[in-house]
Structure 1
Amino acid sequence: MPFDVISTPSGEHPTRDVFRQSLRGFASTVTIITTEDAGELFGMVATAVMSISLDPPMLAIAINRSASSYNALTRRKAFCVNALGTSHEATSRQFSRPLMSDRFQDGDWVTYAGAHAAFENIPYLTRAQAAIFCETHEIVHYGSHAVFLGAVKEAWTQTAADPLVYCSGQYGRFSVDVA
């Protein structure tokens, strides 16, 4: 057997630790999911983000049901996915702080004031690689997490691609040349 980690006996579910260890090699773009609820800003770091459909545009985010932003995301039914660049590592670390009020202290955060009323006052990072505004289409609960299917209503992007990635417990980069 070429694997150097503890395996799961045949027919049994893997333990939480074995499953977590097996996922450590999945490199993911670091994002900050933001929303606003009753005048309070909410945000959290997430790497479980994926596109679902281009036509119509939809993405999915997976959120732990015990996360401090979970209830606000459920009530507001609108959110922004801010894809971070390599210059945002400190911002990502800021969003790991326990107090929500501390999280928006770093970075160029502004609140949405565009044409879609559903996103009014939702914060976004002006220098993010991308800011994707979604209305919650459906929430699917499974175990410890909920998957929010977000209908994309507005998306902004930078021309330079220099995403902040997270893999094996560390931040990194994956640079590409954009013509």
Structure 2
Amino acid sequence: MAHLGAAVNVITTAGSHGTCGITASAVCSVTDRPPTLLVCINRSSAMHSAFVGNRDVCVNVLPGHYEDIARHFAGLTQLSMEERFSLPVWEAGANGVPVLRDALASLQGNIVEAKEVGSHSVMFVEATAIRVRGDGDGLIYFDRNFHRVPRVCATR
């Protein structure tokens, strides 16, 4: 799976089961009507129950310059969850779910279905609010490393 490159996202949630976030590359579009994504989260993750319990989430697609945010939410640094959300890059979205202010795209929505597959839960998220940026480089995870992908400007 390390050779399957993918966009880097931070999935966030907030509610009665707590506020948390996790770096995830196992995210993809399912359908555009209604706008639905799938997000895979390891069931052994300490944050899994918060996502399942809260059901309100935001998929934040990271721009290239946010590798540090990806590392924080992947648990690769010493920042606590509270410290991660105290960084001045977050704003409150619907139902208090953290939204990355500078994300390439932020897709807020609700988990409408979840299935257990192997070690993970495959969660289907129906987006209710979508915000997209028109600039910025992308960030992918490939071969167990983060890589910045420059945006190519269209020529006419």
* TM-score, length of structure 1 as denominator length: 0.79
Code of the aligned partner of 2:89: D
Higher RCO (C-alpha under 8 Å, 6+ residues apart):
2
Shift in Å, 1:40: 3.4
Would you say 1:79 and 2:60 are equivalent positions? no
Q: Which protein shows a greater Rg?
A: 1
Task: Give me the whole-angstrom Cα distance separating, in 1, the residues matched to 2:50 and 2:95.
Answer: 14
Q: What's the CA shift string for 1:22-41, capped at 9, x where partnerless? A: x1111111000000122832
Higher mean C-alpha displacement, 100-109 vs 64-73: 100-109
The equivalent residue for 1:13 is: none
What 5-or-longer segments of structure 1 have no aligned partner? 1-22, 113-118
Shift in Å, 1:107: 4.7
Task: Give me the whole-angstrom Cα distance separating, in 2, the residues matched to 1:51 and 1:154.
Answer: 15
What 5-or-longer segments of structure 2 have no aligned partner? none
What SS does the aligned partner of 2:70 have?
A: helix
Task: Give me the whole-angstrom Cα distance separating, in 1, the residues matched to 2:17 and 2:53.
Answer: 13
Q: Which of the pair is proportionally richer in strand? A: 2
Task: Give me the whole-angstrom Cα distance separating, in 1, the residues matched to 2:153 and 2:54.
Answer: 35
Contact 2:137 2:149 in 1 (8 A): yes
Q: Paired residue for 2:87, among 106, 113, 117?
A: 106
Would you say 1:140 and 2:81 are equivalent positions? no
Task: Give me the whole-angstrom Cα distance separating, in 2, the residues matched to 1:75 and 1:30.
Answer: 24
Shift in Å, 1:178: 4.3
Q: Would you say how many aligned residue pairs link Structure 1 and Structure 2?
A: 151
Shift in Å, 1:104: 1.9
- Root mean square deviation, CA, Å: 1.6
What SS does the aligned partner of 1:90 have?
A: helix
Task: Give me the whole-angstrom Cα distance separating, in 2, the residues matched to 1:108 and 1:76.
Answer: 22
Would you say 1:35 and 2:13 are equivalent positions? yes
Task: Give me the whole-angstrom Cα distance separating, in 2, the residues matched to 1:125 and 1:68.
Answer: 22
Q: Which runs of 4+ in 1 moved over 3 A?
A: none
* Percent of residue pairs identical: 28
